[in-house]
Structure 1
Amino acid sequence: MRLERRLSPQVNVDLTPLIDVVFQLVIFFMVSSVFKTTPGISLELPTAGTAEPLTVQELVITAIAEDEIYVNEVRTTLEGVEKLLASWKDEHQDAEIQVILEADKEAQYQLVISLLDGLRRQGFQDVGLRTRMKR
């Protein structure tokens, strides 16, 4: 004997849990995002009549080979680097200079040392070496 059901099943998709999960994800990403802000100390800085804005110039030296070196996208050789550095330093005398040296992983170690020596001869002391994070 076969029994028939009198009530048919009702299928409704409830979106409330989905909306709750999406809302929690939004809140999570908002809270965990990194914002560049100053510390939580509220300061009102004094004014100065002789204050000057500080400009930071970035000097990027890219070494591929002895005959292919780029100083801020200007191609030169190992012999021409110091001339370019001297002229670049003369143009940006009043600015704070941030020097970044990047070299191809196949570049010779002597090439990097020669570039560092040239930077020191021109008066650049703090040089950052750019690397890539290991994944």
Structure 2
Amino acid sequence: MKFVRRVADQEPSVNLTPLIDVVFLLLIFFMVSSRFIDEKQLELELPGATSAQAVASEQAVIVEINADGDYRVDGRGVAANALVASLLSLRAQYPDRPLRLRADGAASHAAVVRAMDAAARAEFDRVEIATGGDAR
């Protein structure tokens, strides 16, 4: 009986077709299951507080922010870069008074955050945010 010898010159090969199929199936799965959200700036109209309690007529350091982002500290106009210094001097004069922020509804969020940051740097213990019904 004769046995046929195979040629030993053939190199073993790996079939990549199933691997490519699996990769394409994963790609299709992630494309279908992903959500692409077009995030835009939302137009918000900030409401007044309905459950706000009236603040006692305690004297407070009042910081007002108008729609243009201009600051007034106790009735005097203050530049944004001098806000911390102004609050520090008032904190030294009136250490027990809270800080009350009165921001216009159209004021930018950045202007309000800048005022709150200045209050923190001036080490005010209490910061109040005035709403539509709060008195001075």
Using the size of structure 1 for normalisation, the TM-score is: 0.51
2:79 is aligned to 77
Provide the C-alpha distance between the structure 1 equivalents of 2:80 and 2:105, rounded to a whole number of angstroms.
Answer: 17
Aligned length: 75
Amino acid at match of 1:81: L
Provide the C-alpha distance between the structure 2 equivalents of 1:101 and 1:125, rounded to a whole number of angstroms.
Answer: 14
Q: How does 1:86-125 map to 2 (within 5 A)?
A: 86-93=88-95, 96-125=96-125
CA drift at 1:69: 0.7
Provide the C-alpha distance between the structure 2 equivalents of 1:118 and 1:85, rounded to a whole number of angstroms.
Answer: 7
SS state at 2:86 partner: helix
Q: Does 1:58 align with 2:60?
A: yes
Using the size of structure 2 for normalisation, the TM-score is: 0.51
Amino acid at match of 2:93: E
Amino acid at match of 1:119: A
Amino acid at match of 1:76: V
2:5 is aligned to none
RMSD: 1.5
Amino acid at match of 2:91: K
Q: State which structure, 1 or 2, has the greater radius of gyration over its C-alpha atoms.
A: 2
**Any stretches of 5+ residues in structure 2 without a counterpart?**
1-57
